[in-house]
Amino acid sequence: MNILDSLYEESIWREFLQYKIEKQHLSGKEQKQMEEYIREKKYLPLLIEMEQEGYELPLPFKKEINKGGTSKKRVVYSYPEDFSMLLKMVAFLLYRYDGMFSDNCYAFRRNFGVKDAMRRIRHTKGISEKYCLKVDISNYFNSIDVSMLLEKLIFLKREDAFLYDMFERILTADKAIVCTGNDSLTSEK
């Protein structure tokens, strides 16, 4: 079953909500909003629209924000609320590909996280004789060669053409709505 078909199933959305509650990823307000979103099936119009030929993804919002108490800025892209909710659900469903990742990859995986990484480090024999190197690559995500990344994702084209197409369209988009300091919006190529 491709991911688009899964997104029509209310039970999958309820599973997603339950996961978010159990992991304490939601404030009380966010939980109520998500419960309403699922109860009223607000995802259906977007899914139906996405299946139409010629559907265009919404433009992301581009905003510069301060980076962790420094004068440095980082660029953040976000999408309108309904599409953002759908992307979060897609990320939740990507757990089916967890087996393809290295055992030491703890990012963006459903049942792996910082606590698991720390537990693994604490139980490593001879850890006191090893070193750790922390690296911060400037502009890391914006420096990834999209064509190379899409080559790595090509297996998805056979397994889930919808998902591959969505990733390709997001990664190759060349426009965004720029949010300036005074919240005025302009389109940028």
DSSP string, 46-111: HHHHHTSTT--PPPPEEEEEE-TTSS-EEEEEE--HHHHHHHHHHHHHGGGGGGGS-TT--TT-TT
pLDDT at residue number 8? 95
Read off the pLDDT of each residue in 4-9 and give the average, rounded to a whole number: 92
Read off the pLDDT of each residue in 139-151 and give the average, rounded to a whole number: 85
Read off the pLDDT of each residue in 81-104 and give the average, rounded to a whole number: 88
Q: Are 188 and 176 in contact (CB under 8 A)?
A: yes
Q: Which of the residue ranges 53-67, 122-136, 173-187 would you say has the lowest mean pLDDT? A: 173-187
What lies within 8 Å, CB to CB, of 172 at 6+ separation is 146
Helix (H) / strand (E) containing 144: none
Q: Which of the residue ranges 24-28, 47-51, 65-69 would you say has the lowest mean pLDDT? A: 65-69
